[in-house]
Structure 1
C-alpha cells in the first residue's frame, strides 16, 4: 500500500525556495515516519530523505530532490538523488501493513460434541436379508443405510451450519456378538454374490431363535460459522430402529415324494 503525497512542489523558482519544512505529508510529526525523515533546502533544491525499519518495510532509505532533472528515491537499502523542475507528487512506502485505521479480529469459539446436543442428526435405517429371517450356521446379511446431511441453527451465540457424515457403524447382533464397520453394508445382489455369502456386515447365528439387531451410527461432525468447515473432535451417536429376525434350522433329506404327496414324510 502506498501513501501519496510526501512532497508537492509546484513550479517554484529557485529564488523562492527559502529554507522550509514539509507539512501535511508522511514526514509530519504525527506520521508513522516521524523521526525517520529529513528535509534540507539549499535555496535551489529541496532534498527529502527517509529511513525506517518497521514491519512491512524493507528498511531502506533514499533521497529525492526538486531541481532540473528527473530523480529517483532509493529503496531496499539503496539510496539515490536527483532533481526535477516540476515534480509529480512523491510517494511514501507504508511502513505498517494496513497503516492507519481501527481493526478487529473475530475469533470463533471452540466447539465440542456436547455443544451439538441441540442438533439431532437423522436416524439410520436397519434391515437384513433374507428379510426377517436367518438360517443357523449360514451368514445372515445385515444392512444399514445413512447419508451425509446438514442442519442449521444457533450455536454458542452464532448462526451455524452443522454437517454430519457417517463414520462408523456399531452393530449388536442380539446374541452377544457385536462389531464396528466403516460401511453400512450392501445387498448380495448389488455385491454380485449368491445368497448366504459372507459380507462385511453379515453374521452367523449358531442357534435358532428370535433375535433383535441394533445399530448405533457414529457421525463425525463439522461446523461452519460462515468461513469454512471446522471439524469437531469425537462422534455424535444416532441409534437405528431395531430389526428383529427369526433364525431357523434347515434340514435336508432325500425323499421319494413331496410333502404335498406325503404329508407325514420326513421334514413335513
Structure 2
C-alpha cells in the first residue's frame, strides 16, 4: 500500500493539498487509511450505484387511484482501517425526496415497498388528478457513520450525501365501463381483464 498526498481544487480554482491517503495496487483510495477520521468522500465512495426507482404495474396507473412507487435503497457496510486499526464504515439512507412529475413532491423516511394489490395507499404512493405520462424522480439522502469497536458504537460523519435515481415514466389512464358477457375467470382475454391501464382509455 502506498501513501500519497491528495491534491484537490477549491471553488476558486486554486490547488489545495488535502490529507494524506493510501492507495492500493490499482490506484484506488482505501477509505480511512492514512486519515485521522472518515469524511463524506469516504461515504460517497461506498455508494457506487444509485438506488433504483420502481413502480408497481410497470408504472401504469388509473386517475384518482393510488399509483405505488418504491426504491431498493439499502444501507451499505464496508470493512476498512483508520490509522492502521480495523474500522467499519457505513452509508445509511435516511430521507427520500419524491417528485411525481405533476407538481407534487413528498419527503419520506421510508423507501416504500411493492404492493400485491392495486390502488393501495402507501407512504410513497400518489394519486394523479389527470391522465397523461409523467416523469417521476427520486433523490435519496445518506448519512455516514464509522465504528472502531466492531459495530458496537457508531460515530456520525458530518454532512450527508444525495444520490439521484434514474427517472421513471408513469402512464396514467382513466377507467371506462362496459357490459361484457363473461367474467375474467371464464374468459381471461375478455375486455377489462388485463393489467390496470391495458383496457383503459388514455384520453382525458
1:235 aligns with 2:160: yes
Q: Contact conserved, 1:218 with 1:237, CA < 8 A, in 2?
A: yes
TM-align CA RMSD: 3.3
| Residue of 94, 116, 120 corresponding to 2:47 | 120
| Residue of 201, 209, 218 corresponding to 2:132 | 209
Structure 1 residue ranges without an equivalent (≥5):
1-107, 260-266
Map of 1:33 onto structure 2: none
| Partner Cα separation in structure 2 for residue 223 and residue 121 of structure 1 | 18
| Residue of 85, 90, 101 corresponding to 1:174 | 101
SS in structure 2 of the partner of residue 130 of structure 1: helix
Q: Contact conserved, 1:121 with 1:164, CA < 8 A, in 2?
A: no
TM-score, normalised with respect to structure 1 = 0.47
Equivalences for residues 107-256 of structure 1 within 5 A? 109=36, 112-113=39-40, 116-151=43-78, 161-189=88-116, 194-224=117-147, 229-254=154-179
In terms of fraction of residues, the more strand-rich structure is 2
**Structure label with greater radius of gyration:** 1
| Higher deviation after alignment, 149-158 or 208-217 | 149-158
Structure 2 residue ranges without an equivalent (≥5):
1-34, 183-189, 192-200
| Partner Cα separation in structure 2 for residue 124 and residue 117 of structure 1 | 13
| Partner Cα separation in structure 2 for residue 118 and residue 195 of structure 1 | 38
What do residues 149-200 of structure 1 show as CA deviations (whole Å, max 9, x unaligned)? 12456889998642011211111111111111111112222xxxx4112111
Distance 1:236 1:152, change over 3 A: farther
After TM superposition, give the deviation of residue 219 of structure 1 in Å: 1.2
TM-score, normalised with respect to structure 2 = 0.60
**Count of residues paired in the alignment:** 149
Write out the 4+ residue segments of structure 1 that deviate beyond 3 Å after TM superposition: 108-122, 151-161, 224-228, 253-259
